[in-house]
Amino acid sequence: MAQISSQAVFLVSGGGRGITAQCVRAMAAKYGCGFILLGRTAITEPEPAWAQSVQSEAELKALIVADIQKRGEKPHPLKVQAIFGSIVARREVLETLAAIQKGGGRAEYISVDITNQAELQTRLAEVAEKSGPITGIIHGAGNLADKRIEDKTAEDFELVYGAKITGLQNILSCVAISSLEYLILFSSVAGFYGNAGQTDYAIANEILNAMAFQFKRNNPACRVLSLNWGPWEGGMVTPELKKLFTDNGVELIPSASGALALLEELENTTSQAVQVLIGSPGKLRDAGKLNPEPSRHRISRSLSLTANPFLQDHQIGGKAVLPAVFSAAWMGHTCEQLYPSYTFFSCERYKVLKGIIFDNDLASVYYLDLNELKIEVGKEIVFEGLIWSETKLGKIRYHYSAIITLRHETPERPVYKDFDLSPTLDLPGAQLYQDGTLFQGPGFQGIERVLNLSSERLTLECTAPKVEERFSGQFPTRNFNPYLADLQGQSMLIWTRHFYQSASLPLQTLKSEVYQSPRPGEKVWVSLEIRSHNSMQLSADIFTHDQAGKIYQQVFGSEVTLSPQLNELFSLKSKI
């Protein structure tokens, strides 16, 4: 195979942005060849005048909010993030096009969905005459929908599989196979080694590898490469994930090094290799090879309203407040990322030390310290967790603490035998969300009705929440569903308002256990049993279960503090 000539033309999916764009830039500088870049980002519309020359994310988002309000609309976080993302994406594509030209190459850009064959064929025909015959393909498009396999949906699978496999099939159907000299596929080590939470991504990439071998057998004169990349700096790796990779000995591929690795493969004209692994395998710690010596971890996270749309439905006194159960989810889910073969099972001695309010006092960075207390390989891992931050004056603030236990196998769901589903009250849940008893917005409104209420107990009929992944932002739902757990807290709010005409806030919990999450939209029941109470404090046990009493989640010794002054704040529901 001869070296790539300046007359070569590569059709590149996902080539306008990210790691594929980095590789294309390097190829343009090396070979001076032509490219047709395919991407979903629209670049024909000019950037708003008020956004031009603004680089700061915070400043740009503030201008977006101002522009939305100027039009008389409400600046919902999802809308702000979508506009911000489109501006940044457009800039990246234009920068890529300029870099290719500067490097001596030629480039055309087509905004198109490669999973739509008809649209792709039509749009490609529009530029084919101008660009010349396509002699190479680089397929770099891809999507992620990382979740545990039991939480994945058909839509998640199609999102990931479609971009990789359907996209490649459509691209190949639009070019003359006999003219192809190069077929370069961007696969992943996840397909070779596997990776927790990426069953669909691993499947798609392993199929991509198999397609490369099949194509090579059918077209022996074509240079075929399926590059199984390890994780890159940038790309789909967030700062938090980068920290996690680093802590577990997974080296990230620098952008320049990754692009150079591609050039080295292309320069090796005598190589017959089809599948090539580049970089670290990307596996987190294997459950069977745990270090029995406990260790410590510190993981940082920046929080914002824009990144977490669910906060618009959790406000007290007009200010967004992080739900207490979300801090437990934060700790539990992070522990799961450290040990992917283990599942968040219990949270003990949980305390709210100082809640996180999204106001002017919001810290720039929050820290989660995890101290491993016990490791029983194949059984359980126990952590001591603490979330804290620093004030602008450098003072330490402690927010939440707990003991988190992961189990290798979750125990069978126990049965709560003392449930009472008799409808002696039959109070509609919608009424409670409107009269100030409950302050939660639509995303947290799962109570259908109050079946019964007494000085000893309360029973709620609920619907398991349906939550879009983007709504949860930095707090995705996994085995422990914080929206379901929030309904347990709402049961205490209902009881305290009825008997003390007072609202309440969470203080601590002795122990909570998670067995299983119900399907979204499924009927569930929340049963509350009173332990003790007075005008200042309430302690109770709470069980979320199905109609037969089989438990999804249960809480023992949940304590709240009562305050009539909170009633007015609960009624104040100004939106973000």
Give the total number of structural domains in the chain: 2
Q: Mean pLDDT, the chain, as a whole number?
A: 88
471-to-13, 151, 418 alpha-carbon distances in Å: 28, 16, 35
Q: Is the dihedral of CA 203, 208, 213, 217 positive or negative?
A: positive
Q: Is the dihedral of CA 489, 493, 496, 502 positive or negative?
A: positive
Overall average pLDDT of the 101-121 stretch: 94
**Domain assignment of residue 353, given as a range:** 289-571
Note whether 232 and 338 are same-domain residues: no
Overall average pLDDT of the 360-382 stretch: 92
Q: Are 229 and 186 in contact (CB under 8 A)?
A: yes
Overall average pLDDT of the 364-392 stretch: 92
Q: Is 310 exposed, middle or buried (0-12, 13-18, 19+ CB in 10 A)?
A: buried
Note whether residue 96 is domain-resident. no
- Kindly indicate the confidence band of residue 56, based on its pLDDT and cuts at 50, 70 and 90: confident
Which of 257, 278, 299 is where one domain is finished? 278
Does residue 287 surpass a pLDDT of 50? no
- Kindly indicate the confidence band of residue 60, based on its pLDDT and cuts at 50, 70 and 90: very high
Percentage of residues of the chain with pLDDT beyond 90 = 61
Instruction: Report pLDDT for 352.
Output: 96
Does residue 88 surpass a pLDDT of 70? yes
Distance of CA 538 to the CA centre of its chain: 35
Distance of CA 514 to the CA centre of its chain: 21
Instruction: Report pLDDT for 196.
Output: 74
Note whether 268 and 293 are same-domain residues: no
Overall pTM surpassing 0.85 (yes/no): no
Note whether 165 and 295 are same-domain residues: no
Overall average pLDDT of the 506-520 stretch: 94
Instruction: Report pLDDT for 282.
Output: 44
* Residues contacting 384, CB < 8 A, separation 6+: 370, 371, 373, 401, 402, 403, 404
Note whether residue 450 is domain-resident. yes
- Tens digits of per-residue pLDDT, 154-199? 898 899 999 999 999 999 999 999 999 999 999 988 877 777 778 8
Instruction: Report pLDDT for 18.
Output: 86
CATH number of the domain to which 153 belongs: 3.40.50.720
Note whether 347 and 247 are same-domain residues: no
- Tens digits of per-residue pLDDT, 321-347? 999 999 999 999 999 888 877 899 999
- Give, as one character, the DSSP assignment of residue 351: E
Which of 232, 253, 278 is where one domain is finished? 278
- Kindly indicate the confidence band of residue 129, based on its pLDDT and cuts at 50, 70 and 90: confident
Note whether residue 268 is domain-resident. yes
Question: Tokens representing 168?
Answer: 């490649």
- Give, as one character, the DSSP assignment of residue 3: P
Q: What SS3 class is residue 22?
A: helix
Q: Are 406 and 343 in contact (CB under 8 A)?
A: yes
